[in-house]
Chain A
Amino acid sequence: MGLDVTWAVKWLTLSAQAMAEHRVELIELDRAIGDSDHGENMDRGFQAVLDKLAESPPETPGAALKLTAMALMSKVGGAAGPLYGTAFLRAATTLGDAAYVDAPVLAAALAAARDGIVARGKAEAGDKTMVDAWTPAAEAAAAAAADGDTLAVLIAAAEAAEAGAVATDPLVARKGRASYLGERSAGHRDPGAASSALILRAAAGAAA
């Protein structure tokens, strides 16, 4: 057994709820070091994901993530659209058409998502981007996968992502729009890392 399509749909539904609830907070984080659009774009993107899920209900977790990738790519815009689109697409490819996802595959999918973000955005850990949430999340997921429990993998990933997002506070941005601020970007949380932590928390919440 493992996680099925019901989990995937619940994950995306909880993600959409989280984006709506934290819309203003993400706008405020982005206002500090960017251009105030992140919360609005993520809310719009995940509402589009919900519409797509209702329109053509997926049959596998992989199909749900692929549909999410397409919806985010076409509705979010900015840098977040292609980055999250690529992340969900790479994760979907890792899951394939399997009906169930076990812990090792789940960890592999999170690693593939992280690699996709790195490849698309050309950022590395420490640049003050969403990579700073995804890298510790992927590493924690891989470590937790050893004992075989999907919930443990997702909780480890969510907690590591949250800690990673908090750890972006003192960093000086080297990629994305915040990089133009130089030293002035320090002291503010990266909005992409913050939204990544919300999405991974939703993944754990859906499995609980």
Chain B
Amino acid sequence: MKKLINDPRAVVDESVEGFGLAHADLVTVNADPKYVTRKDAPVAGKVGLVSGGGSGHEPLHAGFVGRGMLDAAVPGAVFTSPTPDQIIPATLAVNSGAGVVHIVKNYTGDVLNFETAAEMAQAEGVEVRTVLVNDDVAVEDSLYTAGRRGVGGTVLVEKIAGAAAERGDDLDAVAAIGDRVNQNVRTMGVALSACTVPHAGSPSFDLADNEIEIGIGIHGEPGRHKIAMENADGITNRLLEPILSDLGMAMGEKVLLFVNGMGGTPLSELYIVYRRAAQILAERGIAVERSLVGNYITSLEMQGCSVSVLRLDDEMTALWDAPVHTPALRWGV
């Protein structure tokens, strides 16, 4: 294992410290307990948006803290959810009296810790709503699992709900639009290689040179099945098909197409995937109105990508276009 680290146990602390130094104009880092808030938090009259999860998914979540997106992000240990003693003070710190929305990815640890924190924050007098993100179509049989995972769609929920909060929507409205994005987005991922968690020292699953994992989540956990390596178009076909059938997309609908890198795949390859995904959508008469390509929700240095399709309506499109100014996403300002 070769990594640019000092001590496996100091990875998150040192990384968050560097993040704070690099983006001191946008964010404030609280070291203990660890959380990141936007510089001007709490913003008077505005609903606060808090998300969080394991580290190793950068720029998610701290990279999306700032005007028009998150008010606070709570980083856990690598691939491990944060704990209530971090989430509660982050929630209190961004509450201006208008309440706080927690955006939670549907992983058991994230759900349990945010649930506990929400109860405690409510006991402190803060109104909390939770938007649970579960956009992963790889999990087919949700009756017998902990449900679908929250993956790439999380970025889109954070952007659109963040814009709604920024324009002054109230607590229930911000949560409602977050839910609406979640209901209309589906994601499927593929890994060409595993990643290595710093404290574990060995790759999180084994893949032969000619194998890929289809249907991965974002924690270096294995996917639904292994198949032999194919070319980019073949893999993209496999990712798009379950998304489109699950969404029940019809001709004439408008979408946002998001191709996300897992950390170890160059942008050139992500654009090859985007090319094929856009072709498939065009063949089906679906209009790609907006797009996003890059590393936004990663799994350390894993090679691979996920594709997300969000069915857009006019309000979601307008909120997507609204100004955003964060370390990892910025436009309109």
Which residues of A are in contact with B by a Cβ distance under 8 Å?
A: 27, 31, 33-37, 40-41, 44, 73-83, 120-121, 172-177, 179-182, 184
Task: Report yes or no: B145 in contact with A174, Cβ–Cβ below 8 A.
Answer: yes
Q: Are B108 and A35 in contact (CB under 8 A)?
A: no
Contact A121 B221 (CB under 8 A): no
A174-B146 Cα distance, complex, nearest whole Å: 7
Chain A residues with CB below 8 A from B200, complex form: 27, 31, 36-37, 40
Ordered by A's residue number, 29 sampled pairs between the chains whose C-beta atoms are within 8 Å are A27-B199, A27-B200, A33-B221, A34-B219, A35-B79, A36-B197, A36-B200, A36-B220, A40-B77, A40-B199, A40-B200, A74-B85, A77-B54, A77-B81, A77-B82, A79-B81, A79-B108, A79-B112, A80-B109, A82-B113, A174-B145, A176-B108, A177-B217, A177-B221, A179-B146, A180-B149, A180-B217, A182-B141, A182-B224
Give min CB distance, B325 to chain A, whole Å: 30
Which residue in chain A gives the minimum CB-CB distance to B198? A40
Total inter-chain residue pairs, C-beta < 8 Å: 113
A residues near B76, Cβ cutoff 8 Å: 77-78
Q: Known contacts A180-B138, A184-B222; is A41 also within 8 Å of B77 by CB? A: yes
Chain B residues with a Cβ under 8 A of chain A: 54, 76-85, 107-109, 112-113, 115-116, 138-139, 141, 144-146, 149, 197, 199-200, 202, 204-205, 217, 219-225
Say how far A207's CB is from chain B's closest CB, in angstroms. 30
Q: A31-B200, A182-B141 are in contact. Are A177 and B84 (CB under 8 A)?
A: no
Minimum CB–CB distance from A123 to chain B (whole Å) comes to 9
| Interface pair B112/A120, CB less than 8 Å apart | yes
In the complex the two chains form, what is the Cα distance from A144 to B113 in whole Å? 35
Overall SS of chain A's interface: helix
**Could you list 4 further interchain pairs (A-B, Cβ under 8 angstroms) beyond the known A79-B109, A177-B108?**
A33-B222, A35-B220, A82-B109, A174-B145
Interface residues of chain B: helix, strand, loop or mixed (majority): loop
What residues on B are CB-neighbors of A79 within 8 Å?
81, 108-109, 112
Task: Choose among A27, A35, A75, A120 the residue that contacts B219 (Cβ–Cβ < 8 A).
Answer: A35
Chain A residues with Cβ below 8 Å from B145 are: 173-175, 179-180, 182
- Taking a contact as CB atoms closer than 8 A, the residue among A34, A36, A76, A172 that contacts B83 in the complex is A76
